[in-house]
Amino acid sequence: MDEKELLNRFQAQIDAEIKIEPKDWMPDAYRQTLIRQMSQHAHSEIVGMLPEGNWVTRAPTLKRKAILLAKIQDEAGHGLYLYSATETLGISRQEMIDALHEGRAKYSSVFNYPTLNWADIGAIGWLVDGAAIMNQVALMRTSYGPYSRAMIRICKEESFHQRQGFDILYTLSRGSDEQKAMAQDALNRWWWPSMMMFGPHDSESTHSQQSTKWKIKRKSNDELRQDFVDNSVQQVKVLGLTLPDPDLKWNEERQHYDYGPIDWEEFWAVVKGRGPCNRERIAARKKAYDDGEWVREAALAYAKKKKAKEVLA
């Protein structure tokens, strides 16, 4: 079959909602787009552990600490599911990790903001995980089989993340005035970075069209962002707090909430490495990786020695 026939067959498979599996023929651009998007997603799960890790030793109670640890452990798992799924496309784990550490790969910019107080952990769970869930639920139906299966597994685990975050904010919002103020302050700082998680507006998004045709993406950036806004406006009422956007109001005609302009200058500055914590995050990842080098080497040496013994026995 020539390239054109293969391409037609591939598109027909996608149109018929038949998943693409690792050994199937696929256009190189499909493979490269997935490698970029999936490894970026994996890196986000891994780097995303850092802002929360900041509060493990300072969680207010043992229960909160145990919950936070379990949540962070889930994120490590999500990173692993996604790295493995990406490896099915022919890139090695080492190549992906090198790309992250050398600044050639991106991860979600939201993790370049600092976690200044305990309420931030609540805001991250409710808003950041909430936004991630929006995106991930849509991706459960993505056309690449291993990616779709990883998303299904991840979504099962994510709902506890958002609930534990909301629970933290709910508790604070019913506490002392200081606690309530702390929760509001966290929302003020995390709302806009969370809105930016969905990426540029559809009109500005470079990869969107082809990704939609290939069903890598199932919902556009703006559609997902709108769902997120509509949900959040309802939920913030339960907290008795406010979202820091004076333009939020119900639009009868659209049957959605309108929201104010997003500061794209800030978004691009953080994407390009000028966020408050970009350097710190990568430095922390590199240090963890380099410090683990001797462990990885020792484990391999031990495995080799054990195998040699088995052969002799």
Partner 1 sequence: MSTKKDWPLWEVFIASKRGLNHKHVGSLHAADAEMALENARDVYTRRKEGESIWVVESKFIFASNPEDNDAFFEPAKNKVYRHPTFYDLPDEVNKM
Name the residues that contact partner 1, by CB under 8 A. Answer: 21, 23-25, 70, 73-74, 77, 80-81, 84-85, 87, 92-95, 98, 149-150, 153, 157, 293, 296, 299-300, 302-303, 306-307
Q: How many CB atoms lie within 10 A of CB 28?
A: 7
- Least CB distance to Fe ion at residue 136 (A): 8
Q: CB-wise, 13 or 210, nearer to partner 1?
A: 13
245 is a contact residue toward Fe ion (CB under 5 A): no
Q: CB-wise, 61 or 94, nearer to partner 1?
A: 94
**Closest of 16, 22, 26 to residue 147, by C-alpha:** 22
225 is a contact residue toward Fe ion (CB under 5 A): no
- Least CB distance to Fe ion at residue 205 (A): 23
Q: CB-wise, 75 or 245, nearer to partner 1?
A: 75
> Binders of Fe ion among 175-214, rule CB under 5 A?
none
208: which 2 tokens?
Answer: 């969107």
**Closest of 229, 219, 307 to residue 262, by C-alpha:** 229
87 is a contact residue toward Fe ion (CB under 5 A): no
- Least CB distance to Fe ion at residue 124 (A): 9
Q: What is the 3-state secondary structure (H, E, C) of 192-210?
A: HHHHHCCCCCCCCCCCHHH
Q: Pick from partner 1, Fe ion, none: which does 161 bind, CB < 5 to 8 A by kind?
A: Fe ion
- Least CB distance to partner 1 at residue 155 (A): 13
Q: Pick from Fe ion, partner 1, none: which does 202 bind, CB < 5 to 8 A by kind?
A: none
Q: Pick from partner 1, Fe ion, none: which does 129 bind, CB < 5 to 8 A by kind?
A: Fe ion
Separation of alpha carbons 125 and 118, rounded Å: 12
One character per residue 32-71, x = contact with Fe ion (rule: CB under 5 A): -------------x--------------------------
If you compute the radius of gyration of the chain from its CA atoms, what whole number of angstroms results?
A: 21
Q: Pick from Fe ion, partner 1, none: which does 95 bind, CB < 5 to 8 A by kind?
A: partner 1
Q: Pick from Fe ion, partner 1, none: which does 59 bind, CB < 5 to 8 A by kind?
A: none
Among 41, 43, 64, 78, indicate the residue that binds Fe ion (CB under 5 A): 78
Q: CB-wise, 45 or 120, nearer to Fe ion?
A: 45
Separation of alpha carbons 175 and 169, rounded Å: 10
The residues that touch Fe ion, with contacts defined as CB under 5 A, are: 45, 75, 78, 129, 158, 161
